[in-house]
Structure formats: structure tokens, C-alpha cells
């Protein structure tokens, strides 16, 4: 019998490139192995996802949680290799925020076909081979941002978009739905362009400075993540245009809160990354136990302004 099982395991491994899930079992210490891969380990957004997953792991007590992230948000191949490593490490749960909607598909599908429970966090991928998805309704949040900015501008003026990753499912939704909402409801607003900062605050600052130089009459700016929002806000403040240029962004951190307090940032779309990590890991554990889970979970968004920042955590 043992020989037969070994032969079957070898055959499946040869065909798929990975061990079947029933051949992996648990880690040497008896704990379930879960791997969390985010886009980077710099933005507070991703650190909150990590904190949520760590809290759930501590609560459950039988989880070996491994966290990994590329040093930056510009190399899809690095994140894809991290997925391959998770498979090699015999992970049973893979929680991932795909850096690119297409580039991460081969790794995600390989993991799923190997029997790993795949939990998408924050960002979608162009495949159906995953088990659960915990994220903000980014389209709705982008439309809310568009209405916040459109109303502040009284429906008139030039607007620039400082986006994060070109091709990432989340950031492209935030860009495209924002554009659609502006076009639909604010015909007097012209979007002068979109530039991608990769979520890097310095790049976002330089991009915003260039937008202001090229458009001296720029009326508004929209940032699509924490890095883009902070960088753009710093550029607006350095140019002495706080309050003059209406500015709406995304994400919550000490920096975005400070920008609101100083009157630079009009509003920011606050996600709930902690819950993405916390609920995401629980879903992976439930799936391993054969329990049903909700496939798509909206973790919510709050609009932070000067009126309510003290109540936002």
C-alpha cells in the first residue's frame, strides 16, 4: 500500500510539478502552513493586512504564518517566484495580493490546481481559480472619490490622476471607474492625464509636480493608493497650493491623516486592510476543514474628511 501511494505521489508530482495536497499534510510542528504575499512591505495598507493575518494566526494557535513581499511594486517576476516558493514550501493556504492581474495568473492557477486554498487579498487576478476574495469594492470607492472631487470643483476644471501600478486589477479599477463617473456626471471636468508612481511617494511627488508645471490652472488631483496620495499631497503643499488644488486620495495612514489635518487632502477613501488579513486567513482555515465560505467579501470603505478623522482608526 505504501509503495502504491508513493508511486501515485511521484506520478502526480511529475505531471503537475507540485506535491498533491494530501501528500503535504501539516508542518513538522503540527501547524497548518499559510503564506501571505503582499505587493510590498512598506505601505501601511499592507502592514495592516499582515497585522490582521497575524492576529488571526495567534488567535487560532495552530497556524505557521509566513509573510513575504517584494522590495518594490515594479517586478511581477519577483512576486511570481514567491508564489512558486510557497508551493515548494508545501503551503496549504496562499493569501496573495496580485501585483498584476495577468502576470500572477500562472502561479495562482498552479497553486490552486495543487490543492492549495487560494485567498485573494485586496486585488483581483484574471482567473477563476481561487477560493475566496477579500477586498474593498474598488469600483464603488472610485466612484465615491469622483463625486467627492467633482462636487468640490463645482463640476468644472482640469484634473490629473496619480495612479500606482499600471495593470494591477485594483488600481486600474480605481482609475477607470473614477474616469467613467467623472465623464457621466461632470462634463465640465477634463482629465488631463494619468501617470503611474508604482506607489512610490517620491515618484508620485515628481509626477504631481510635472502635472502642475504642465497645467498651471490644474484644479484637482486624484491619488489611487497611500503612496500616490502622500507623494501627491507633499507636492501640492510644497508648491503652496494646499486648498487651491482640490485633492482626493486613497488609504489611511499617519501621513494621509496629517495631510487632511493640514488642509492639503480634502478626502481619502479608507479601506479595511486589517479585516482582509484577519478574515482571509480564517476563510483559508475553514476551507481546509471543508466548511463553506463566502467567495466574495466586501470589507468596506469609509470617506475620511476633516469632519470625521478623529473617529477613523
Read off the pLDDT of residues 289-303 as tens digits, 9 standing for 90 and up.
999 999 999 999 999
Smallest CA-to-CA distance from 259 within 239, 225, 229 is with 229
**What was the pLDDT predicted at 14?**
43
What is the residue-averaged pLDDT of the chain? 91
Q: How far is CA 18 from CA 24, 84, 227, 247, in A?
A: 10, 10, 37, 48
Alpha carbon distance 100, 78 (integer Å): 12
- Split at pLDDT 50, 70, 90, the class of 28 is low
Q: Please provide the CATH number assigned to the domain covering 23-135+272-299.
A: 3.40.50.2300
Task: State the average pLDDT over residues 68-87.
Answer: 90
pLDDT at 36 over 50: yes
**Topology given in CATH for the domain delimited by 138-270:** Rossmann fold (3.40.50)
Q: Which of 11-25, 84-98, 138-152, 287-301 has the lowest mean pLDDT?
A: 11-25
pLDDT at 17 over 80: no
In the three-class reduction of DSSP (H, G, I as helix; E, B as strand; rest coil), residue 153 is classed as: coil
Q: How far is CA 59 from CA 45, 65, 134, 138, in A?
A: 21, 12, 19, 29
Alpha carbon distance 268, 287 (integer Å): 34
Say if residue 313 is exposed, middle or buried (CB neighbours under 10 Å; 0-12, 13-18, 19+): exposed
Q: Kindly compute the dihedral angle of the four CA atoms of residues 31, 34, 40, 46, in this order, to the nearest 10 degrees.
A: -90
pLDDT at 21 over 90: no
- Split at pLDDT 50, 70, 90, the class of 165 is confident
pTM of the model: 0.77
Cα 131 from chain centroid? 17
**What digits encode the pLDDT tens for the residues 215-248?**
999 999 999 999 999 999 999 999 999 999 999 9
Q: Which cell goes with 87? A: 508551493
- Split at pLDDT 50, 70, 90, the class of 35 is very high
Q: How far apart are the first and last CA of the chain?
A: 56
> Quick check: do 23-135+272-299 and 138-270 share a fold?
yes
- Which helix (H) or strand (E) element contains residue 40? none
**What was the pLDDT predicted at 43?**
83
Q: Where are the domains of the chain?
A: 23-135+272-299, 138-270
Alpha carbon distance 95, 33 (integer Å): 11
**What was the pLDDT predicted at 5?**
37
Query: What is the percent of the chain with per-residue pLDDT over 90, rounded to a whole number?
Result: 81
Strand-pair partners of 94: 35, 118
Task: State the average pLDDT over residues 11-37.
Answer: 60
Residue that wins the pLDDT comparison between 28 and 205: 205
- Split at pLDDT 50, 70, 90, the class of 308 is very high
pLDDT at 15 over 80: no
Q: Which of 9-13, 55-59, 233-237 has the lowest mean pLDDT?
A: 9-13
Q: Which of 147-151, 170-174, 179-183 has the lowest mean pLDDT?
A: 170-174
pLDDT at 29 over 90: no
Q: How far is CA 303 from CA 49, 95, 260, in A?
A: 19, 27, 12
CB neighbour list of residue 311: distance below 8 Å, 6 or more residues apart: none
Q: Mean pLDDT: which of 19-23, 129-133, 165-169 is highest?
A: 129-133
Neighbours of 263 (CB within 10 A): 12
Cα 159 from chain centroid? 24
pLDDT at 159 over 60: yes
Alpha carbon distance 211, 190 (integer Å): 13
Amino acid at each position: 500500500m505504501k509503495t502504491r501511494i508513493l508511486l501515485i505521489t511521484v506520478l502526480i508530482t511529475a505531471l503537475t510539478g507540485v506535491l498533491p495536497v494530501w501528500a503535504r499534510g501539516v508542518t513538522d510542528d503540527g501547524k497548518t502552513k499559510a503564506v501571505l504575499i503582499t505587493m510590498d512591505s512598506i505601505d501601511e495598507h499592507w502592514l495592516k493586512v499582515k497585522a490582521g493575518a497575524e492576529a488571526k494566526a495567534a488567535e487560532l494557535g495552530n497556524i505557521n504564518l509566513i509573510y513575504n513581499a517584494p522590495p518594490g511594486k515594479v517586478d511581477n517576476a519577483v512576486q511570481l517566484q514567491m508564489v512558486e516558493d510557497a508551493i515548494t514550501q508545501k503551503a496549504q493556504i496562499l493569501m496573495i495580493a496580485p501585483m498584476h492581474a495577468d502576470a500572477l495568473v500562472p502561479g495562482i492557477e498552479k497553486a490552486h490546481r495543487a490543492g492549495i486554498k487560494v485567498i485573494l487579498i485586496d486585488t483581483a487576478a484574471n482567473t477563476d481559480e481561487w477560493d475566496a476574495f477579500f477586498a474593498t469594492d474598488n469600483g464603488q470607492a472610485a466612484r465615491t472619490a469622483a463625486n467627492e472631487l467633482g462636487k468640490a470643483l463645482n463640476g468644472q476644471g482640469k484634473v490629473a490622476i496619480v495612479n500606482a501600478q499600471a495593470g494591477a486589477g485594483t488600481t486600474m479599477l480605481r482609475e477607470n471607474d473614477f474616469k467613467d463617473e467623472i465623464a457621466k456626471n461632470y462634463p465640465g471636468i477634463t482629465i488631463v492625464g494619468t501617470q503611474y508612481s508604482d506607489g512610490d511617494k517620491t515618484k508620485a511627488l515628481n509626477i504631481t509636480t510635472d502635472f502642475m508645471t504642465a497645467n498651471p490652472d490644474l484644479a484637482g488631483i486624484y491619488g489611487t493608493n497611500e503612496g500616490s496620495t502622500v507623494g501627491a499631497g507633499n507636492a501640492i503643499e510644497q508648491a503652496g497650493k494646499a486648498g487651491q488644488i482640490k485633492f482626493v486620495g486613497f488609504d489611511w495612514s499617519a501621513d494621509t491623516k496629517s495631510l487632511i489635518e493640514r488642509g492639503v487632502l480634502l478626502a481619502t477613501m479608507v479601506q479595511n486592510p486589517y479585516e482582509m488579513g484577519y478574515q482571509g486567513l480564517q476563510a483559508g482555515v475553514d476551507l481546509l476543514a471543508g466548511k463553506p465560505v463566502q467567495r466574495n467579501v466586501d470589507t468596506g470603505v469609509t470617506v475620511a474628511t476633516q469632519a470625521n478623522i478623529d473617529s477613523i482608526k
